[in-house]
Amino acid sequence: MIFRRKRRQGAGTDSETMAAAAAAQDAPMTGREPWLAHGLTAGDTAACSACGQRRRVHLQPRAKVIVAVTDVLREVIMICGACGRLLCHDCTVGDNPRLSECPHCRGPVVLPMF
């Protein structure tokens, strides 16, 4: 038996999602953090700005602390808390595998939130 995921009402196409994310990242920040002002929609895919690999968007509820398992993070797109670039797990793991940092600005990388 094959199950198909029902597409959420109001979810845009992949190109619309990418355009919204790009516009949100290019917009000047008006007091909102990049992990909140990203223009992403849960369930869609986005490309890593470093390597171009496509990963699933999984939005988390707004929180001060998020505990995640490394295997889960390999499957989803993350966002730099400093510059707002979308990044995959493979591109953010530096010398310390417990600390994810942006390869562009060395800012902390977190999951996008709603």
- pLDDT tens for each residue of 47-94: 999 999 999 999 999 887 778 777 888 899 999 998 999 999 989 986
- For residues 102 and 83, give the distance between their C-alpha atoms in angstroms, rounded to a whole number: 8
DSSP H or E stretch at residue 90? helix 89-92
N- to C-terminal Cα separation, the chain? 34
Average pLDDT value for the chain: 80
Task: Supply φ then ψ for residue 90, to 5 degrees.
Answer: -60, -35
- For residues 94 and 54, give the distance between their C-alpha atoms in angstroms, rounded to a whole number: 20
Query: Under a CB-based contact definition with an 8 Å cutoff, are residues 114 and 92 in contact?
Result: no
> Could you tell me the pLDDT band of residue 12, with boundaries at 50, 70 and 90?
low
Measured from the Cβ of residue 9, the count of other Cβ atoms closer than 10 Å reads 5
Q: What is the pLDDT of residue 9?
A: 47
- CA 64 to chain CA mean position, Å: 17
Q: What is the model's pTM? A: 0.69
Q: What is the pLDDT of residue 17?
A: 62
Mean of pLDDT values over 31-40 = 83
- Which comes out higher in pLDDT, residue 4 or 109? 109
Mean of pLDDT values over 40-52 = 93
> Could you tell me the pLDDT band of residue 31, with boundaries at 50, 70 and 90?
low
Q: What is the pLDDT of residue 54?
A: 95
Paired with 86 in beta bridges are 79
Instruction: Write the CB contacts of 114 (distance below 8 Å, at least 6 apart in sequence).
Output: 36, 42, 59, 60, 61, 62
